[in-house]
Amino acid sequence: MGFKIVKKRELIPNRVSELTIYAPDIASKARPGNFVILRIFPKGERIPLTIADKSPAEGTITIVYLVVGKTTAHLETFQVGDEILDVCGPLGKPTRIEKKGEVVCVGGGTGIAAMHHIAKGHAQVGNKVISVIGARSKDLLLFEEELSKFSHKVLVATDDGSKGKKGLVTQVLEDYLKSHEVKEVVAVGPVPMMKAVSELTKKYSVPTTVSLNSIMVDGIGMCGACRVSVGGRIRFACVEGPEFDAHEVDFDELMLRLRSYVKQEQISYNHFCE
């Protein structure tokens, strides 16, 4: 028996969807920062997706995915009542959350959904959470309403200026860092965004945590696919992360490794579309 989809919400039609999945054992143990690995059919690849939210009372977890290739396109064909073959988790180390004061959580793209669970965890222990979210335009912004339920403020940046400040999340973040005593910055999103946030916060000496999206296969430390360099040491993001000290991460190496199978991914996606 698989894992039943009990709710589906199209956040951006044909691009980003949210699925609520009945998985009571995972829901009861999931903590901010954890992820799951899905396999949607017997010969399917395994893909990691962050647990964006959970409801232990209803026995559900929520995932949000961007359609980028074959498996996410296939997942997008699933509807309420369909079952996902395997959902393995919760995986990864949970976020280290302690009461410390003001925490700025930065999210870009579907990273905003992943950041949501972490930001909520910080708010629940009494930290003052400022959420900074960015997208190309206002139609592509995710989770603004959800974040506003527990954030002290939600600051928005869009590339085209259709909402909030025109520009990048780093510009909004820099304005904020100049005039506030921030104890920690958390950033989740595309690697270039996390790299830019890290370079900025280094300048302001603010401790920063990023959640790395390296390629993963087993998710339990056996295959080595998720290797990342942090502080000059090889670390396995699935079991030692996915969160690391941003100022120690080799982002350029991560970007190169993420592009290792682009040709095969394109062939596989074209084959799926035929």
By the rule CB under 6 A, 67 interacts with ligand FES: no
Helix then strand then coil, % of the chain, to nearest 5: 30, 30, 35
202-261: which residues touch ligand FAD (CB under 6 A)? Answer: 213-216, 242, 258
- Smallest gap from Cβ 101 to ligand FAD, in A, equals 27
- Structure letter (DSSP) for residue 127: -
Total chain residues near ligand FES (CB under 6 A): 12
By the rule CB under 6 A, 269 interacts with ligand FAD: yes
By the rule CB under 6 A, 87 interacts with ligand FAD: no
239 or 258: whose CB is closer to ligand FAD?
A: 258
Cβ-count burial of 2 within 10 angstroms (0-12 exposed, 13-18 middle, 19+ buried)?
middle
By the rule CB under 6 A, 191 interacts with ligand FES: no
Q: Give the closest residue to 133 by CA, choosing from 8, 68, 151.
A: 151
Instruction: Give the DSSP letter string of 223-248.
Output: S-TTEEEETTEEEEHHHH-SEEEGGG
Task: From the list ligand FES, ligand FAD, none, pick the one residue 224 interacts with, judged by a Cβ distance below 5 to 8 Å according to partner type.
Answer: ligand FES
Pairing of strands 227-230, 16-22: unpaired
200-259: which residues touch ligand FES (CB under 6 A)? Answer: 216-219, 221-226, 236, 238
142 or 196: whose CB is closer to ligand FAD?
A: 142
Total chain residues near ligand FAD (CB under 6 A): 25
Omega cis (within 30) before 90: yes
Q: Give the closest residue to 18 by CA, choosing from 143, 148, 105.
A: 143
Rounded Cα–Cα distance for residues 202 and 68 (Å): 31
By the rule CB under 6 A, 156 interacts with ligand FAD: no
By CB under 6 A, name the one of 11, 64, 173, 206 that touches ligand FAD. 64
By CB under 6 A, name the one of 68, 85, 234, 256 that touches ligand FAD. 68
Residues within the interface to ligand FES (CB under 6 A): 216-219, 221-226, 236, 238
